[in-house]
Each structure stands twice: as C-alpha cells, then as structure tokens.
Structure 1
Amino acid sequence: MAKATEAANNLYVLRDTYFPPNPQDKLTKLRMESDAALKLLDSIPPDQRKLPLQRATYEYLRGKILDVFPDYRKEAEDHLSKAVKLNPSLADAWLCLGNCIWKKGDLLSAKNCFNLALSKGPNKEILCQLSMLVRKLAQGSENQAEMVEESIKHAKEAIALDVKDGNSWYNLGNACLTSFFVTGAWDHGKLLQSLKAYQNAEKDERMKSNPDLYFNCATVNKYLENYERALSGFEAAALKDPGLNASDEVQKIVNLLDKLDNFLKVHKKAKRLASMASSLTSVSLSPPYRRANVDALTEGLNKAVAVVGKIKEGDQLILLDPIYRFADFSWRGKSYQFKSIRVDFLNQLLLNGKPLSPSQAVRASIHAQHKP
C-alpha cells in the first residue's frame, strides 16, 4: 500500500509541475502515469485490502488517482465516498472528495467535505483549498468582500501551521489580490500585501515550478507600475506554461509603453508644452490644497497638492493628493523614461472644477479561476 500511496502522490506532483507547450501532452502523460498507479494499486493482494480500514485506504487511493484529471469523474467520487464511509477519520480522503465534488459544481457540498476534513485536525492543505473555495463562492454574492476576508483568514491559518510553506503564502497572495479588486481596486495596501505574500512563496524551492505564481505576481507588479518586474514575471510564466498566454500580457505592456514613449516624443517640445501650459485657466482650490506642477512633486504620495492638466480642448482635470512615480528602466534594449501621476479615489478627480459622478468611472476588475 505504501508504494501505491507514493505513486498517487507523485501523480499530483506531475500534475502541478509539468507544463509542456501542448496541453494535450500533459493529459496523455497523466493518463499513462495514472494507469500505472492503478495497476500498482490492483497488484495489492486481496487479503491485504479486506479489512474495513484497509479497504478504506484502497478506495481512497483509487479515487485520488482517478481524480487527478481536470474534469469531474463520477467513478472517482464513488470510490472516495466509499473510503470516508469505511473510515471517516481519513482527512485526505475528505479533501479529495471535496475537490472532486467541486469539479461538478456542488460548491456547498465541497465546503462541507473540507470542514469535515478539518474536524480531524488542522491541516494547511485543507485550509488552502477551503480558502480558494470561499473565494469561488464569493463570486457574484451580495457579501463578496466579507467572504473574501474569510478566505484571507483561512489562508493565514494555513501559514500559521507552516510559515515556510510556499503554497500557503501563494494562496494568501491570491486572496489579497482578489480583495483588492472586489473592494474597488483602489487600496494599493492590499496589492503590497499580495506582493509580499508572493515574495515569501518564491522562497520555497518547490514553488519555482508554479507558473501561476509568476503570472499573478507579475499582475500585481503591473498594477503597482513596476513595469520591468511585471514584464520579467510574465515572461517567466510564459516559459513555464505556454498555455497561460502570459506572452500576450508582455506584448500588451510593451505596446502601452511604446505608445506612451511615442506620445512623449511628440509633446515634449518646449514651445508646445509652454503653449499648453499657458492655456490652462486659473482654478480656485479649497484649503489646504496648493497648486503645483509635475516637477515640484516628490516620489510617492503628495498630500495637499493639486495638479492641473488638460485632457482635451476646453476641459481641465484637477488631481488631488496625487501619487508621483518616476519610471526609468530598459526592456529588450529599449529604454523607457517617464513621469507617472496616479490617484486612487474618484473624489480625487475634478473635471472643470467639479467632482465626477460614479457613472463616469470604470473600476478595474479581474477574472479569477479557482480550480480544485
């Protein structure tokens, strides 16, 4: 039984670390290895899987091996259900059953399985899966933000059990990133928490084979305007798993940077800038705000400062308490250098001296896939 257990565990390592250019090759490899694991399991003499506890382990391993594929398999659920009936104390069997049921869309039953697994004792892997499932349940719910906070709580509980476990840190990073978007995509503190969690995950050598870690960390860096790190992260993700389409993300950022670079070349002429600046009308600012030009801004948050700009003929835009950043980096032999000004709240924007309405703002969003 020990060899069959090792074969089942190795099967999941293959699932989580093997990302060939053609995804079909991965399925073929999984089928081949799962067939070998099932043969090894069936080679166990009948008299060694006769007793209830022995039979429970056999059913559990058979169900676990069958459930390694991305799609739901009823046969896997049947074997795992038999296992927990024969031995309700098998925590990993409850975990596998929850993952299997999740695949068929019965999320509440899956959550019940995870909670039953946790009732056998604290377990970081189960807590991570529960954290993911809660985020999945949160999608489209009325109390989405509260449920994501519950997800973060479970993620932190997993870390408390093993502070060096990279997967637990990765899961916390995902939970904080989700929280950033569901709360309006304005709190960069959540992005920094997410980035810190991903950086802790990267310290675990086992996580270096996880392309999603690189992709998600690059996503955070993109929103934090760390463009060079974002490009490096997306490129690393593309090399590890071509199926992630991370190369498209690299191209999107490069296109944006090139567009910005070309725009600055056109508009940086002194006479043109002087003409545009002189066309800005005076504005009355409420205390404590004072008007400042871009050159007077300091790196980071500029409290009680207002920057006035023009977006089209006749319209002026005022940015209150802007966050300033000077970007200076190179990518693939091309240098980029520009000044960035950002505000995070709608009430920090004034159009022609008047506040904008919520209908005039578009929040950033993310489409997250939570796969068991």
Structure 2
Amino acid sequence: MSSPAEEHSLAKAAKLVEDLYHIRDTFFPENQGDKISKLREQSDLALKFLDSIPPEERKSPMQRATFEYLRGKILDVCPDYNKEAEDHLSKAVKLNPSLADAWLCLGNCIWKKGDLSAAKNCLSLALSKGPNKNILCQLSMLKRKMSQGAENQAELVEESIQHAKEAISLDVKDGYSWYNLGNACLTSFFVSGSWDHSKLQHSVKAYQNAEKDERMKSNPDLYFNSAIVNRYLENYERALSGFEAAALKDPSLNAAAEVQKIVSLLDKLDNLMRGGHLKAKRMASLASSLATVNLNPSYNRATVDHMLEGLNRAVAIDGKVLFFVTNDTVAPLYYLLCDSNQNCFVLTVYGLRIDVIKERDQLMLLDPYFRQVDFSWKDKHYKFKSIRVDFPEQVLVNGKAVTPQQVVPSSIQAQHKP
C-alpha cells in the first residue's frame, strides 16, 4: 500500500503537469516562439521535480504507470512529435491498461507522428475499456483529420459528429464536448460544398452551449469558429464581435484580417445600395424588363417587400442582376439585384460557379431565405435587405435551370480551427 507521502509526491507532480497544460491552453503571445520557450521552461521544471521523487515512492505498478504517464505528458506538451514521450506513454498503458488519460496522450502523440491509422487504433482500444468523453472528443477530431482528401470524406465527418454527440451524452455540461460538436458540424458544412446551412444552425447551437462553460471563455478558437458560422449565416454583427474577441485573445489567429474582410464587403454593399449607381429611369427600365417565367403553380410570386424573416417556402421572387460584388472569400457569391417593384437587395448564392450569373441576367429565386440586415459597427450603420439561396436548384437563370456543369464540383474549405 502506498504511503500518504508517496501519493502526495505524484499528486504534486500531476498538479505541475496540469499547470503546464493550462499555460498551453491559455497563453497566446503575439510571437509563437515565446509560447514554446515558456512551455519548455516549465516542462524542465516539471521534469526536474518528477525526477526528484525517490524510486521507492514509485515502485508499485500503479505508481510506475502514473510516473511514466506524467513524464510522457510533459514531453508531449509542445506541438511537435516527441519519440521519448511516446515511449513513456506506451510504458504507462502497459503497466496500467485502465489509465484512460495515458491512452489519450498516447493517441495524440502518435497523431503528431503522422500515423493517423495507428492513432485511431490506440483511441479505439482505449474506448473498448470504457466510455470516456475526452477520448471520444479526440477520436472525433482525428476522424475529421483523416477525412481530408479521403474518398469517404463525408462518412468520416459523419462519424466525427457521432463521436462528438457520444461525448456530450456522457457530460452534457462539458463545454469542450459541445465545442467539438460545433467544429464537426462546421466541417460537415464545408464538406457538403458549403450549401446546407442546417449544418451551420447545428454548429452555432453547439457553440452557444460551449460558451455556457466558464472554462471555454479562455478559448480563442471557440470565438473564431463561432464567428465563421455567424458570417455564413449573415449574422454580421456577431461575426465581427467574435473575430474581434478572438484577435484579442490570440493574435496569431489573424482574426483581425477576418474583421477587415467583413467590413470591406459591408462597405461595398452599402456603397452600392446608397450610391445611386443607377438612375431612377434606368432602374425602372430594368425592373419593367423582367420577363414572365413559367413557374410551378405551387409557388407564389412575390417581391422583396413582402418577404418574411427567415425561410420563405413556396415563394418565388424575380430579380434583375445589377452588379456582381467582388469579395475576399471563396463562397458565397454576392450580387446586387432589383425586383419588379424596383426594390434593391443583396443576393448571396452557394454552390454555383462564378461565371454562371452575370450582370443584367434575370433570376428566379425559389424558397428564398430573407434577412433584414440592420446594425451599427464602429460608428457606421449598415442597413439592407438580403436574400440567400443555398442550393443550385433554387435558382433559374434567364428562365433556365442550372446544369450540373454549372455547379461547383468540389467541397469548399475554409479557415477554422479543427
């Protein structure tokens, strides 16, 4: 049986390791080299204390397993793979196969080595010994990594989502598990071709649940990824606030540049809406030139001023393309249109090639999603009507359906922290 002094030594070492990882997860200097230097300095102190524990205080298999685990975890704190860390963690799980944290660290260490298949086997073996939310989250992240470039990409991402949900079922208040689910749903959105906004709705709800956990408020990636979701949902004010918060917490995320991208786009849209680029007579001429398009009778024709906030099912709206609006993102595409009542509105389109819709084209938009954008940012007020179509089949161009050749052929990736 271990003495209290022996247990105290290992417990103190575990606290030093916990402090070390707290630095890793909360210290975000502008220069990443400063973070690595600090981690190495603290790692050396933790290892020095660990080595000071007399051999007689780590003689039982359980004690030796804990000792090897702590040493391996200290060595694995930096982003690069460490062979010595893997060796110590391997010893730990052999000495105590039920030490879940050691399995988790070993899987992460092998992942850093680039052997994703072996990392998956390691984490799966750990799960076979009993459910564990942290291992499920790690496996969820690993499946997303494995999906990149894989033929069964969508399947692996769906498995990632399921692992994330399993982790939440073990602890519904754990913010990190919710954050992981949000990331999995966001990845699914991009894998599907950035068309299905229901994935974003699931993602934003998961992030909102993650924010309820006080421990997550120090995580800049949560704010960054949540801002990405809000940008695609056209919640521009929330997106700007999120990116700004992420930039303050971690300058290396380059979130300030994302703020500037959104502001630049909003300024362009605002200038087009307010700038009087089209005279009243010309606008009236374009609006009156909208030809009658044969439409399924189940759809009701409408103009922008009759749109309801959100999804307008079984509604069709005609529009003339006035301008294509360039921006710094791959998707969506932005256009300025006017309807038959000479109402101007912004159109965001997903899933189409950039050359499909041209200025002066007539569009018929089916089941449009409507938003009234109205907010202020940095002493500037933005107000305009916006319509979004998520799928190619929601758009008729000059009375014709979009062809398969006009659809974006591959998934669209975006910068976010996995």
TM range (shorter): over 0.9
Further displaced range: 316-325 or 221-230: 316-325
TM-score, normalising length from structure 1?
0.95
Secondary structure of the 2:150 match is: coil
Give distance in 1, aligned partners of 2:179 and 2:34. Answer: 26
RMSD of the TM alignment (CA)?
1.7
TM-score, normalising length from structure 2?
0.85
The Cα shift of 1:124 comes to 1.1
Give distance in 1, aligned partners of 2:255 and 2:51. Answer: 41
Secondary structure of the 1:169 match is: helix
2:284 aligns with one of 274, 294, 300? 274
1:194 aligns with one of 181, 200, 203? 203
Partner of 1:65: 74
C-alpha spacing 1:89/1:157, structure 2 compared with 1 (3 Å) = same
Partner of 2:345: none
Secondary structure of the 2:165 match is: helix
1:267–1:273: 8 Å Cα contact kept in structure 2? no
Give distance in 2, aligned partners of 1:156 and 1:287. Answer: 42
Q: Aligned pair 1:289/2:299, yes or no?
A: yes
The Cα shift of 1:359 comes to 2.7
1:308 aligns with one of 308, 312, 318? 318
1:220 aligns with one of 229, 236, 240? 229
Partner of 1:325: 371
Partner of 2:386: 340
Q: Aligned pair 1:162/2:171, yes or no?
A: yes
User: Mapping of 1:19-30 within 5 angstroms?
Assistant: 19-30=28-39
Secondary structure of the 2:386 match is: strand
2:225–2:417: 8 Å Cα contact kept in structure 1? no
Deviations 1:248-268 (A, max 9, x none): 110000000000111112247
User: In the comparison of the two structures, how many residue pairs are matched?
Assistant: 371
- In the alignment, structure 1 segments of 5+ residues that lack a partner are none
User: Mapping of 1:127-146 within 5 angstroms?
Assistant: 127-146=136-155
The Cα shift of 1:120 comes to 2.7
2:316–2:368: 8 Å Cα contact kept in structure 1? yes
More helix per residue = 1
The Cα shift of 1:136 comes to 1.1
2:375–2:383: 8 Å Cα contact kept in structure 1? yes
> 4+ residue runs of structure 1 moved beyond 4 angstroms?
367-371
Give distance in 2, aligned partners of 1:369 and 1:344. Answer: 21
Q: Aligned pair 1:365/2:375, yes or no?
A: no
1:136–1:370: 8 Å Cα contact kept in structure 2? no
Deviations 1:202-231 (A, max 9, x none): 011100000000001001101110000000
User: Mapping of 1:47-126 within 5 angstroms?
Assistant: 47-126=56-135
The Cα shift of 1:331 comes to 0.4
C-alpha spacing 1:270/1:243, structure 2 compared with 1 (3 Å) = same
* Structure 2 letter corresponding to 1:50: K
2:72–2:87: 8 Å Cα contact kept in structure 1? yes
Give me the identity figure in percent.
Answer: 73
Partner of 2:348: none
Secondary structure of the 1:286 match is: coil
C-alpha spacing 1:369/1:114, structure 2 compared with 1 (3 Å) = farther
Give distance in 1, aligned partners of 2:388 and 2:35. Answer: 43
